Amino acid sequence: MILASKSPRRKEILKQLGFQVKIQVKDVEEISSKVELIDKIKDISYKKVIEVAKENQNSFVVGADTLVEIGGEVLGKPKNENEAREMLEKLSGKEHRVITAYTLINLEKNINISEAVESKVFFKLISREEIDWYIESKEPMDKAGAYGIQGLGAIFVDKIEGDFFSIMGFPINDFVKTLKKLGINIKDIQKI
């Protein structure tokens, strides 16, 4: 299987389940003209995958995109430390949505599926010292919403409602369900 993503978290999730993952990415502008948030993120996920799939017509190509939304505002990856600080201050003491969309394409088999999984994350109140400490770790800099639930950012999370792996960046449970619908069983995943 080809993973159209540089995300070490997505690679790790897929490899843990036994997928033989090869990384191949194309630079794609991560914008969408879709109106609804779910449609936008599915569209961006699709754009990342289709460009790689065109060069690998007989391969299964998968990719994903994750966003954080709070009060109608989408928080992507912070561009700098100040933006990371602003995002963490917005999330402090509040609930937010994490939406991860994934796309699976195999052009030869006429497979083209995009799904999205939504979860809720509840943050505790975060002190200024905790935010400074976290930003110094550099962990928030490559993550939507400026935190990683699987890393140091876990200390900010009071609770979640939904799929931990989706919040981490790839909803593996939903993905396996999609594979089952395609007639691909768990024992066959190493062949993909």
User: Number of C-alpha atoms within 13 angstroms, CB side, residue 26?
Assistant: 19
Calpha distance 157→123 (Å, rounded): 5
- Count Cβ atoms within 10 A of the Cβ of residue 13 and give its class: 0-12 exposed, 13-18 middle, 19 or more buried: buried
Task: Tell me if residue 65 is catalytic.
Answer: yes
Which of 27, 39, 65, 158 is the catalytic position?
65
Phi/psi of residue 151, each to 5°?
Answer: -120, -140
User: Which parts of 37-145 fold into alpha helices (H)?
Assistant: 37-54, 81-91, 128-136
Which H helix or E strand runs over 179? helix 172-181
Calpha distance 147→139 (Å, rounded): 7
Phi/psi of residue 72, each to 5°?
Answer: 85, -5
Any idea which residues carry the catalytic annotation? Answer: 65
